[in-house]
Structures are given as structure tokens and as C-alpha cells.
Amino acid sequence: MTRTRKTLLWEIQNHDSSRSFLFGTMHVRDAAAFSYFEAVKPFIHEAEIYAAEMDLNQATLEGQLEDALIPGGRTLIDFMSVKKYSKLRKILLKSFEIDLNQFLHVHPLFTTNMIAESILSKDHQEALDYAMWHFAEEAMKRMKGVESYADQLKTLKKLSVEPQIKQLIAIGRNPSKIRKTTAKMAAFYRNMDIQGMYKFSKKGMGSMRKTLIYNRNHFMVKSIRNLMKEGSCFFAIGAGHLAGQQGLIRLLRINHIQVRPIALQKSNPDNPL
């Protein structure tokens, strides 16, 4: 098995296409996530099409929460006792300043993701994936999504609520654990260790990883191949999708697309972040 190189940027190319690029992003505002933003800007300029994991103009946070309601009109309290819910709400409010009452009807995965985002520093006004999207818009690129908003909602609705509830309850039992986990993922990203990110996140997802990662990766490869037929592309997809036996890098190679690592330098090598 070929060892995955430590980089976030990959050149991808068919025998009959111009070269495109695949870059691993993070949805956080922490400075560590922006370490390589300056280094990838020339590659965004080179491409004709900018394709994020999803078209980021398709939905606001409010819209996503509204569309991601727990099926059957159920709420978080339907999956635990009122006493347990009250205790969990109190812990999350104290530890992360997130009020469960605001997300009572919403899939717990959204709340878990918001908790993780709240842990890291907010050094930038917007998350890296949004900053890159807006940079590409200003560069007058053709804007696309590898998945549609509808595709992502369809994935969410395939997930059982129970494992999401267990994950949320586990955070309430040990808030410091998700702080350490999130910090470790940021460190993997800073070090461009996508293999480390894959292995670490794989454990945390449990039974949800097949739906959230593996199945989506197979779909995204098909979408990437189709988009490459339209012209040179810069694909910006969550870094957790890149590595592994069912990661995008290996799946692209299986689909006869050449994948080559591109070395990156940090924007500020002296910055300890």
C-alpha cells in the first residue's frame, strides 16, 4: 500500500483533461486552518472552476437547521429523560455556551459540529471553507458544488438519531475530551497529516462513518470526474475525506485519475500555530 504524503494539495488529471486540484479544507475560523490559504491561491487562480464540497450559496445556517429537523416531529427529549436532558443542557451551556433548547428539534449532529467549532479560536471572521469560496468568487471563477445541498440533506436523513444522541451525551459526560479531540484534529491539519485525521476521525464517528464518509466519497468521485470534463477545477473538500482505503485520493486513482502530491509552505513559518 502506498503511503499517503503529508500535504493538503493534490494535482489530479485524466489523460484527456487539463490539470485540476484537490485541496483539503476545514470548517473553522482558527488561524491554524488558514496556514496554507496563501499558498493555494495561485492554484485557485489557475483553475476555471471552483468546486466546494457543497455550493455554499445554497443554504444559510438557519435554513439548514430548519431542514434538518428530527423526523416525526420528535425532539431530543424523546430520546432521554427530562432529568437527563436538563443536566446535559446545563453542562453544554456552561462548557460551550450552547443552549440545547435552541436545537431541541434538530439532528444532534448539527449541535455536535457546532460544539467542535466553538472550541477553536475565532481568529478570522469566517471559516476557511467560506473564505476560500469568497476568494474564488472575487476571482470570477465558475462556482460549483461537488455535492448539492439536497444531497447533504439526503445523507443526514439516512442517519439514525440514536448514535447522534449517544455522541452528544458522551460530550456532556466528558466535555474536556472533545476539547482535546478538536485540538488534535487541528494539529493534524496544521501538520498536513491527512492520514492522521482520517484514522482519528474514523474512531469518533463509529457506525456513522459509512454514511457520512465512505458512501459520500464514492458519490463525490463521480461528481469530480464529471466536473473535470467541464474544465480545470479546484476542488475544496473537507480534509477528512482525502485519506484512507475509501478516501478520495485512493478512489480517484482506482478510477484512472492521476493523483500527485503538491508540496505546500505555511503562510508564516515562524507562527507557532
Per-residue pLDDT band for 66 (boundaries 50, 70, 90) equals: confident
Q: How far apart are CA 167 and CA 145, in angstroms?
A: 29
- Under 8 Å between Cβ of 9 and 16: no
The winner for highest mean pLDDT among 57-61, 122-126, 184-188 is 184-188
Q: Is residue 269 predicted with pLDDT exceeding 70?
A: no
- The mean pLDDT value for 242-256 works out to 95
Q: Is residue 64 predicted with pLDDT exceeding 80?
A: no
Write down the domain spans for the chain: 9-262
Q: Is residue 151 predicted with pLDDT exceeding 80?
A: yes
Contacts of 122 (CB under 8 A, 6+ apart): 29, 30
Give the amino acid at 142. Answer: R
Confidence (pTM): 0.91
Of the given ranges (26-35, 71-80, 84-93), which has the lowest mean pLDDT? Answer: 26-35
Residues in a beta bridge with 50: 143, 234
Q: How far apart are CA 83 and CA 99, in angstroms?
A: 16
- Under 8 Å between Cβ of 168 and 111: yes
Helix (H) or strand (E) holding 147: strand 142-147
Q: What is the pLDDT of residues 126-138, one digit of tens each?
A: 999 999 999 999 9
Q: What is the pLDDT of residues 25-36, one digit of tens each?
A: 998 888 888 999
Q: How far apart are CA 53 and CA 24, in angstroms?
A: 10
Q: If 0-12 CB within 10 Å is exposed, 13-18 middle and 19+ buried, where does residue 224 land?
A: buried
